[in-house]
Structure 1
Amino acid sequence: MTKPENPASHPIDHLARRGAPDAAALLIGERVMNFAELDAGVGRLAAWLRAQVGKPGERVASWSAKTRLACLMPLAAARAGLVHVPINPLLKGPQAQHILADSGAKLLVTNAARADALGDGPPAGCVLYDLKTTEEVIDSQGEALASSLADPDDLAAILYTSGSTGRPKGVMLSHANLWLGAESVATYLKVTPGDRVLGVLPLSFDYGQNQLLSSWYAGAAVAPLDYLTARDVVKAVARHRITTLAGVPPLWVQLVEADWPADAAASLKRLTNSGGALTRSLIDAMRRSFAGADIYPMYGLTEAFRSTFLEPALVADHPTSMGRAIPHAEILVCRPDGSVTADEEPGELVHCGPLVAKGYWRDAERTAERFRPAPAASYYGGTAVWSGDTVRRGSGGLLYFVGRDDAMIKTAGNRVSPTEVEEAAVASGLVYEAVAFGVPDARLGAAIVLIVRGKDGRADADGLAVHLRQTLPNFMQPQAIEWRDTLPRNPNGKLDRVAIAAGWAKAVAA
Structure 2
Amino acid sequence: MPVAADPIAKPLDHLALFGKDEAMALVLRQGGLNYKALRERISLLAAWLADRVPEKGARVASWAAKGELTCLMPLAAARAGLVHVPVNPLLKHAQVAHILADSGAHLLMGNSARLASLGAGDVPAGCALVEEGQVWAEAEALGGSLGPSQADPGELAAILYTSGSTGRPKGVMLSHANLWLGAVSVANYLGLEADDVVLGVLPLSFDYGQNQLLSAWRAGASVVPIDYLTARDVVKACAKHGVTTLAAVPPLWVQLVELDWPRDASAPLRRLTNSGGALTVELVQRLRAIFPQARLFPMYGLTEAFRSTYLDPSLVDTHPTSMGKAIPFAEVLVVGDDGAVTAPGVEGELVHCGPLVAQGYWQDGQRTAERFKSAPAGSAYGGMAVWSGDRVVRDADGLLYFAGRRDAMIKSAGNRISPQEIEEAALATGLVAEAVALGVPDERLGQAVHLVVRPKADAEDAQDRLPRLLAQELPNFMQPRAYHWRDAMPLNPNGKIDRTALQQELAA
Q: Which residue of 2 aligns with 1:249?
A: 250
Please give the residue correspondences for 1:62-77 in structure 2 after superposition, counting only pairs within 5 Å: 62-77=62-77
- Does the 8 Å contact 1:205/1:492 carry over to 2? no
- Give a deviation string over 1:443-463, Cα, whole Å, max 9, x none: xxxxx99644489xxxxxxxx
Alignment partners' CA distance in 2, 1:72 and 1:492: 25
Pair 1:326–1:14, CA change in 2 (3 A): same
Q: Which residue of 1 aligns with 2:399?
A: 398
Alignment partners' CA distance in 1, 2:319 and 2:107: 47
Pair 1:316–1:149, CA change in 2 (3 A): same
Asked if 1:50 is matched to 2:57, the reply is no
Alignment partners' CA distance in 2, 1:286 and 1:392: 26
Q: Which residue of 2 aligns with 1:96?
A: 96
Please give the residue correspondences for 1:126-275 in structure 2 after superposition, counting only pairs within 5 Å: 126-136=127-137, 142-162=143-163, 165-275=166-276
Q: Which residue of 2 aligns with 1:478?
A: none
Which SS does the other structure have where 1:176 is aligned?
Answer: helix
Q: Any gaps of 5 or more consecutive residues in structure 1?
A: 1-5, 409-417, 423-436, 438-447, 456-487
Q: Percent same amino acid among aligned pairs? A: 61
Deviation of 1:366 (Å): 0.2
Alignment partners' CA distance in 2, 1:137 and 1:272: 38
Alignment partners' CA distance in 1, 2:171 and 2:306: 13
- Give a deviation string over 1:27-85, Cα, whole Å, max 9, x none: 00251201111111111100100111111010000001001000000000000000000
Alignment partners' CA distance in 1, 2:43 and 2:338: 49
- Does the 8 Å contact 1:161/1:171 carry over to 2? yes
- Does the 8 Å contact 1:63/1:86 carry over to 2? yes
- Does the 8 Å contact 2:273/2:298 carry over to 1? yes
Q: CA RMSD in A?
A: 2.7
- Give a deviation string over 1:191-236, Cα, whole Å, max 9, x none: 0000000000000000000000000000000000000101110111
Which range moved further: 267-276 or 156-165? Answer: 156-165
Alignment partners' CA distance in 2, 1:185 and 1:492: 30
Q: Which residue of 2 aligns with 1:341?
A: 342
Asked if 1:291 is matched to 2:321, the reply is no
Deviation of 1:337 (Å): 2.8
AA in 1 matched with 2:251: P
Pair 1:98–1:449, CA change in 2 (3 A): closer
Deviation of 1:7 (Å): 2.9
Alignment partners' CA distance in 2, 1:454 and 1:130: 36
Alignment partners' CA distance in 1, 2:299 and 2:487: 36
Deviation of 1:184 (Å): 0.1
Pair 1:55–1:450, CA change in 2 (3 A): closer
Which range moved further: 288-297 or 209-218? Answer: 288-297
- Does the 8 Å contact 1:12/1:178 carry over to 2? yes
Q: Which residue of 1 aligns with 2:373?
A: 372
Which SS does the other structure have where 1:173 is aligned?
Answer: strand
Pair 1:454–1:42, CA change in 2 (3 A): closer
Alignment partners' CA distance in 2, 1:240 and 1:88: 25
Please give the residue correspondences for 1:492-503 in structure 2 after superposition, counting only pairs within 5 Å: 499=480, 503=482
AA in 2 matched with 1:349: L
AA in 2 matched with 1:346: E
AA in 1 matched with 2:310: F
Deviation of 1:116 (Å): 1.7
- Does the 8 Å contact 1:269/1:294 carry over to 2? yes
Alignment partners' CA distance in 2, 1:203 and 1:376: 36
Which range moved further: 130-139 or 324-333? Answer: 130-139
AA in 2 matched with 1:105: A
Q: Which residue of 1 aligns with 2:493?
A: none
- Does the 8 Å contact 1:193/1:219 carry over to 2? yes
Alignment partners' CA distance in 2, 1:273 and 1:219: 22
AA in 1 matched with 2:258: E
Pair 1:19–1:449, CA change in 2 (3 A): closer
Deviation of 1:164 (Å): 6.0
- Give a deviation string over 1:459-481, Cα, whole Å, max 9, x none: xxxxxxxxxxxxxxxxxxxxxxx
- Give a deviation string over 1:309-352, Cα, whole Å, max 9, x none: 00000000000000000000000000123201111111000000
AA in 2 matched with 1:70: T
Alignment partners' CA distance in 2, 1:173 and 1:245: 25
Pair 1:139–1:248, CA change in 2 (3 A): farther
Deviation of 1:247 (Å): 0.3
Deviation of 1:152 (Å): 0.8
Pair 1:51–1:287, CA change in 2 (3 A): same
Please give the residue correspondences for 1:378-389 in structure 2 after superposition, counting only pairs within 5 Å: 378-389=379-390
Deviation of 1:406 (Å): 2.8
Alignment partners' CA distance in 2, 1:293 and 1:49: 41
- Give a deviation string over 1:342-379, Cα, whole Å, max 9, x none: 11111000000000000000000000000000001100
AA in 1 matched with 2:176: H
Alignment partners' CA distance in 2, 1:49 and 1:398: 45
- Does the 8 Å contact 1:44/1:137 carry over to 2? no
- Give a deviation string over 1:93-138, Cα, whole Å, max 9, x none: 0100000000000000012211122111511110011111113456
AA in 2 matched with 1:234: V
Which SS does the other structure have where 1:284 is aligned?
Answer: helix
TM-score (normalizing by structure 2): 0.81
How many residues align? The count is 434
Which range moved further: 139-148 or 85-94? Answer: 139-148
- Does the 8 Å contact 1:60/1:85 carry over to 2? yes
Runs of 4+ in 1 over 2 A off after TM superposition: 135-141, 162-166, 448-455, 503-510
Deviation of 1:507 (Å): 7.6
Pair 1:259–1:341, CA change in 2 (3 A): same
Alignment partners' CA distance in 1, 2:32 and 2:51: 28
